[in-house]
Amino acid sequence: FSAEAATVLIAVGLLIFAGDGRSRPVATTAAVLVLVLYALLLVCRFTIRPGPGRLRAMAACMLTMAGVALIGIWICAVVEGAPSP
């Protein structure tokens, strides 16, 4: 398990189980997407021949995972910070 994936899952896990739960669906979706992208990263690692193609595919997975996590955490922060109805 990579350090980035673990860090994201810890932060998102706290959002899933803490607070009043308004951001729970977004946090859960972000966590699932990060796990799927991490699994795709592993599939790329073990199915693509070593070389620039594999590095590009793995980099794309890692950057997409970081983007999904960043946007997911940002949306959760906006939802949690909004006034309650």
Mean pLDDT of the chain: 86
The tens digit of pLDDT for each residue in 61-76 reads 999 998 998 998 899 8
**CA nearest 8: which of 76, 82, 81?**
76
What pTM was computed for the model?
0.79
What local confidence, expressed as pLDDT, does residue 39 receive? 92
The letter for the amino acid at 37 is L
Helix residue ranges, H only, the chain: 3-17, 24-47, 52-81
Name the band, by pLDDT with cuts 50, 70 and 90, for residue 80.
confident
